[in-house]
Amino acid sequence: MRWVNFDGKSAGRPAIVAFAALLTLAALADFLVAHHPHFGLDGTFGFAAWFGFAGCVVFVALARLVAAILRRPDGAYDS
Amino acid sequence: MTASVLVQPALVLIVGGLLLPLLKGRLRGALIVIAPLVALALAWQVPDGEALRISYLGFALTPVRGDALSRLFAVTFAAMAFAGGVFALNQKRSVELAAAYCYAGSAIGAAFAGDLITLFIFWEAMAIASTLIVWSAGTTARGAGMRYAIIHLLGGVLLMAGIAGEIAASGTTAFQPLALDSVPRWLILSAFLLNAGTPPLSAWLPDAYPEASWSGMVFLSAFTTKAAIYVLIRGFAGTELLIPVGLFMACYGIVYAALENDMRRLLAYSLVNQIGFMIVGIGIGTEMALNGAATHAVASVFYQALLIMTAGAVLFVTGKRRFTDIGGLARTMPLTAACCVVGALSIASFPLASGFISKTMISEAAGQEGLAIVWYLLAAASAGVVLHAGMRYPWLAFFGKEQTPPSTDPPWSMRIAMLLLAALSIGIGVAPQYLYALLPYPVDYTPYTGAHVVFYVQLLLFAALAFVLMRRWLPPAEAITLDIDWLYRRLGPAVAAAGLRAADRISGRIAESARQAASASVKAIEALHGPGGILARTWPTGRMAFWATVMLGAYLILFYL
């Protein structure tokens, strides 16, 4: 399980299992409530789940792009 | 309620602040605790309508005008001054707290200002007091404080020009809703937006705020930007331009905060991100959107201050503020870590925390108005909060890999302040009806429906998953990300220096050619008159006699012709 590697130390199977269970429950909770979509896309199953995830992916990508162009070493303003 | 006010609530804090440096020990502590509470009680009791009128320089001024919106903000400011005052009880620098109370008082004064002139006076008082707070942190804050002061003086000039033009055009000093149809009104809007931390003049916020002391930044985060939100609600509700502006701020705040290595700069960018949500609400301009913007401003004053207090506690105890220097502090600072988690849940709008009952109102208003793009972007920006204060900050500071400098939870006064704001953030989240009752418009919104709760739990949990999986791409590193302030910190000075060099070269060249021309003429004169020059030579008498004879002969011939 290298992909959930808590900064060099394994978070341990229980933590990963608990988090995965929580995510599954949250996604399945869509069956329990009646959403009132304002538009089309937000009525799809698990919309908030995939949209939240995708939103973060886009923001991370944007941040990497900004970093590639505008990142400078600490103290760039001091010299 | 009384029909008029006896004391302007702002004056209590301003006079209290001015007295603070004169006091010591228990008396000082008592004033710090009591002054904001008195101001709070007075602000609560300001009646609807114009409560105080005076005439000054031929203008009718209304220093105190009450309604639900102004009371809500004034009470929030007074409560925040109390929490910040308790947090700063053991701050040794006496200037800072004195300035902070004048600053909070001025914010209250701005909230009650019924006319533009009173508003301008309190606006400028806030700028001066907040600059003093930045400067009181010591020599390291000198440059940032100067840049902060210059930007806010520019804002003051814009506001002054706008107000003068507005009064000349409309003939009234009253502070009313302003349609964007004249140059003065554009100037007023740009001055308000400058204080709200809106790009392009936004970089003053992450530049100056983190340089204040561990307690100073708590005050700074609460008043300038939220007073700007208040005046925007009052003056520019429904101005559509504000929707794209707010959306940009929300996204820009996320991107920059996600890259930050300095926890206090991260929180400063998260402040910009949250203000973006409010500005979108003001731009939408429906009753629900304005209620949402006002509630979110109140909720965010408290949770943002809470988060900044936890970072201030870490700075106070360890002297460190960069993620590359800290980590795993939850072990040694459990109470601070717990308060940080409460603040993080609140800013992320997790159910039962304060952000949930405020931010969702703005999204709902966008949905009801059929603004699809706005609604989707607000949802994405809500998820993006986990990339900064929602998860990245607590993770890197308190739960990440351990590299703890010696640390414990901070002294009791700081702990009490953090607990107070944590309780307030949870209280607002659990029982929103009390806050809703204070809003300017009747509230027709139920935050705790099954659909809302499931939506935000899903959104935030899967955003958290995204953060956990991708945090390697946002590692803390000893680097900064250039912002707009690069224009006036690097490009501007570079251009000025290049201009000076060019001017130097040109003036040097002019001087050189003038010198050459001068020396050439000196040489020419020297050739004629110098020693050995034709006009300075001693001529033999014989030649003189010869030439005199020639002249006389010529004269004789001319005479006869």
Predicted confidence (pLDDT) per residue in B415-467, tens digit: 999 999 999 999 999 999 999 999 999 999 999 999 999 999 999 999 999 99
To the nearest whole angstrom, how far is the Cα of B46 from the nearest Cα of chain A? 40
Residue A61 is encoded by which pair of tokens?
A: 């990508």
Residues of A (29-68) whose Cβ lies below 8 Å from B:
29-30, 32-36, 38-39, 41-42, 46-60, 62-64, 66-67
- Alpha-carbon distance of B51 to B114, in angstroms, equals 9
A76 touching B (Cβ < 8 Å):
yes
Q: Which residue of A has its CA nearest to B490?
A: A77
What is the three-class DSSP state of B349? coil
Calculate ∠ Cα B238-B240-B242, nearest 5°: 95
- In whole angstroms, what is the distance from residue B389 CA to residue A64 CA? 18
Confidence tier at A8 by pLDDT (50, 70, 90) = very low
pLDDT band at B5 (very low <50, low <70, confident <90, very high): low
Alpha-carbon gap: B254 to the closest alpha carbon of chain A (Å)? 7
The Cα–Cα gap between B298 and B61 comes to 27
**Looking at residue A9, what DSSP letter applies?**
E
- Which of A7, A41, A52 minimises the CB distance to B459? A52
Structure tokens at B77: 């400011």
pLDDT tens digits, B129-145: 999 999 999 999 999 99
Residue B64: phi and psi, rounded to 5, are -130, 115
pLDDT score recorded for residue A4: 40
Residue of chain A whose Cα is closest to the Cα of B478: A74
Contact B401 A23 (CB under 8 A): no
**B455 close to A (CB below 8 A):** yes
Using only the alpha carbons of chain B, give its radius of gyration.
33
Q: Does A2 touch chain B (CB under 8 A)?
A: no
Nearest CA in chain B to A20: B465
Alpha-carbon distance of B151 to B484, in angstroms, equals 13
Q: Does B368 reach chain A within 8 Å, measured CB to CB?
A: yes
Report the C-alpha gap between B172 and B186 in whole angstroms. 18
Taking only the tens place, the pLDDT of each residue in B277-320 is 999 999 999 999 999 999 999 999 999 999 999 999 999 999 99
Chain B 215-274, residues with CB within 8 Å of chain A CB atoms: 251, 254-256, 258-259, 261
Q: What is the pTM of this model?
A: 0.89
CB atoms within 10 A of CB B287: 15
Q: Provide the shortest C-alpha distance from residue A11 to chain B (in Å).
A: 11
Q: How confident is the model at residue A42 (pLDDT cuts 50, 70, 90)?
A: confident
Q: In this structure, are residues B253 and B216 in contact, taking their beta carbons and an 8 Å threshold?
A: no
CA end-to-end span of chain A? 45
Stretch A44-60: mean pLDDT, rounded?
93
**Phi, psi for residue B475 in degrees, rounded to 5:** -75, 150
